[in-house]
Amino acid sequence: MVRMRSQPAYKRVLLKLSGEALMGAREYGLDTETVARIAADIADVAGMGVQVCSVIGGGNIFRGVSAAAKGMDRAQADYMGMLATVINALAMQNALEKCGAPTRVQSAIPMSSVCEPYIRRRAERHMEKGRVVIFAAGTGNPFFTTDTAAALRAAEMNCDLLLKGTQVDGVYSADPRKNASAERYDQLTYLDVLSRDLAVMDAAAISLARENNLPIAVFNIRVPGAFRAVMRGEGRFTMIFEQRLQ
């Protein structure tokens, strides 16, 4: 694992969270304690002077792919999933503001009564002013995952790093919760992820990150303080680059 200096090595980052990360021990919906803890970690990193933005999935409420598999029109199901991400984004905004972190939610689907529309320059300005920006409603288009939305927004915002907060401490050859012999990786290339079909992010997201030379860090969002640790090159996480570092 690459060790970095004690101060943040990145000026601007995007944190991708799955909707499931907000469930805690629940089987559905939002766990307020879990949301508050993650919000505290995000606020902590923002307090370090790092410009933070985030994309949150909606799988804890509604998953378009699953609904489509059961017979629902895929495009319609994906739009419903996008609305679920807005609910999660508003919940995270509320938790962040309770931590004292100024926050804005921008939605790819305009809904001016509850949040701002997605405007790239405005989002950049918010981050320059120290506000945490949460991007909701994915890309605004069906057939694209929130992983792809995260890679897209990270590229648009000129982020130095895309972070994927998961339920394990990096990338493994298989799910370590189901396979005790799964191999853990400290470093991978984009081609490693694609050729080995590793379950990190979907192929479109990895390809987009590769095209824009955007490094990806995968870490366990359930560990308090893990986000801050990654910013300092500490703790356990997997880095995905164009080429492995020696």
Q: In which element (H, E) is residue 109 found?
A: none
Q: What is the pLDDT along the chain (246 residues), one digit of tens a residue?
A: 444 455 788 999 999 999 999 999 899 999 999 999 999 999 999 999 999 999 999 999 998 778 877 889 999 999 999 999 999 999 999 999 999 999 999 999 999 999 999 999 999 999 999 999 999 999 999 999 999 999 999 999 999 999 999 999 999 999 888 898 999 999 999 999 999 999 899 999 999 999 999 999 999 999 999 999 999 988 899 999 987 655
Query: What distance in Å separates the CA atoms of residue 73 and residue 85, rounded to the nearest whole number?
Result: 19
Give the CA radius of gyration of the chain: 17
pLDDT value at residue 1: 43
Domain annotation for the chain: domains and CATH numbers? 12-241 (3.40.1160.10)
C-beta separation of 242 from 211 below 8 A: no
Place of tokens 């805690």: 24
pLDDT value at residue 3: 46
Query: What distance in Å separates the CA atoms of residue 100 and residue 213, rounded to the nearest whole number?
Result: 33
pLDDT value at residue 231: 95
What pTM does this model have? 0.93
The amino acid that residue 198 corresponds to is L
Q: What is the rounded (10 degree) CA torsion for 237, 210, 163, 121?
A: 160
| Residue-wise burial string across 6-17, b where 16 or more C-beta atoms lie within 10 A, e elsewhere | eebbbebbbbbb
pLDDT value at residue 128: 98
pLDDT value at residue 116: 98
